[in-house]
């Protein structure tokens, strides 16, 4: 930590790491290099994200400037930052995709949605009654930052259109 403790507070950073030796150490180095003080690390080795990566949650102490530098350094190192401090996802939407999901590479579809929207797939379920030879459906729960739902839905429509998938969108709120 730096000599000054002004503005030091706890932050949480959620990461997705590739399952390779040394990846956790590679993710922790930018935190140490920027003066972050580690509080805890939750490494879910037996639990994979929809993209097949390992979720890791790091609690640390830093001042605001250090924290911003830590997040930038992590991203510069190519580490997938899912959540950083106040960037918590505050809205969720549930959509259904229908079509040849397996044939059009569901993993690629999920990766594109996350990369192009900045949202994260909180969970999904797949129903493929005919295996990979017929149509299937997937229920996706996407978490996104406040105010980004329409942008996320636009990207979902675009990706689905490219892959000839149908989208069942969430119902609009009925508030008066």
pLDDT tens per residue across span 136-169: 999 988 878 777 889 999 999 999 999 999 999 9
Q: Is 119 inside any structural domain?
A: yes
Q: Look at residue 123 in the predicted model and tell me its pLDDT.
A: 75
| pLDDT at residue 20 is higher than 70 | yes
| pLDDT at residue 33 is higher than 60 | yes
Q: How confident is the model at residue 1 (pLDDT cuts 50, 70, 90)?
A: very low
CA-to-CA distance for 157 and 113, rounded, in angstroms?
Answer: 10
Which SS3 state, helix, strand or coil, does residue 69 take? helix
Q: Which domain-ending residue is among 45, 63, 84?
A: 84
Helices and strands per DSSP (H, E), number in the chain: 4, 8
Q: Which residues contact 157 (CB under 8 A, 6 or more apart)?
A: 167
Query: Using an 8 Å Cβ cutoff, are 37 and 13 in contact?
Result: no
Report the domain count for the chain.
2
Report how far apart the first and last C-alpha atoms of the chain are (Å, whole number). Answer: 51
Torsion angles phi and psi, residue 126, rounded to 5: -120, 135
Q: Look at residue 135 in the predicted model and tell me its pLDDT.
A: 92
CATH number for 124: 3.30.70.260
Q: Is 2 inside any structural domain?
A: no
Q: How confident is the model at residue 73 (pLDDT cuts 50, 70, 90)?
A: very high
Tokens for 38? 């580690």
Residue ranges making up the domain that contains 16: 9-84
79 and 103 assigned to the same domain: no
139-155 exposure pattern, b = at least 16 Cβ within 10 A, e = fewer: ebebbbbeebbeebbeb
Tokens for 34? 């920027």
Mean pLDDT of 99-107: 87
Report the 10 Å Cβ neighbour count for 66. Answer: 21
């Amino acid at each position: 930590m730096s000599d000054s403790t002004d503005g030091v507070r706890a932050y949480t950073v959620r990461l997705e790491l590739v399952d390779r030796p040394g990846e956790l150490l590679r993710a922790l180095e930018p935190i140490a290099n920027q003066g972050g003080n580690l509080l805890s690390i939750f490494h879910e080795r037996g639990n994979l994200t929809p993209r097949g990566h390992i979720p890791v949650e790091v609690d640390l102490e830093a001042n605001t400037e250090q924290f911003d530098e830590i997040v930038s350094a992590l991203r510069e190192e190519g580490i997938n930052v899912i959540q950083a401090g106040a960037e918590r996802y505050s809205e969720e939407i549930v959509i259904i995709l229908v079509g040849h999901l397996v044939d059009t590479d569901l993993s690629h579809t999920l990766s594109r949605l996350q990369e192009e929207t900045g949202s994260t797939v909180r969970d999904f379920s797949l129903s493929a009654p005919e295996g990979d030879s017929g149509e299937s459906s997937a229920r996706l729960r996407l978490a996104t930052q406040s105010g980004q739902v329409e942008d996320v839905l636009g990207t979902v429509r675009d990706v689905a259109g490219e892959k000839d998938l149908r989208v069942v969108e969430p119902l609009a709120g009925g508030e008066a």
